Amino acid sequence: MSKRHLSQKTVSEIGRTRISRLMDLSEEAVRSGRHDRARRYVEIARRIGMKTRLNIPKDRPYCKACLIPLLPGVSCTVRLSDHKVVTTCGMCGTVRRRPYLREQRK
Domain ranges within the chain, ordered by starting residue: 8-104
Residues 62 and 58: their CA atoms lie apart, in Å, by 9
Q: Calculate ∠ Cα 21-27-29, nearest 5°.
A: 100
What does the DSSP 8-state code read for residue 93?
-
Kindly tell me if the per-residue pLDDT of 1 is higher than 70.
no
Mean pLDDT of 71-81: 94
Beta bridge partners of 43: none
Residues 62 and 32: their CA atoms lie apart, in Å, by 17
pLDDT in tens, 11-68: 999 999 999 999 999 999 999 999 999 999 999 999 999 999 999 999 999 999 999 9
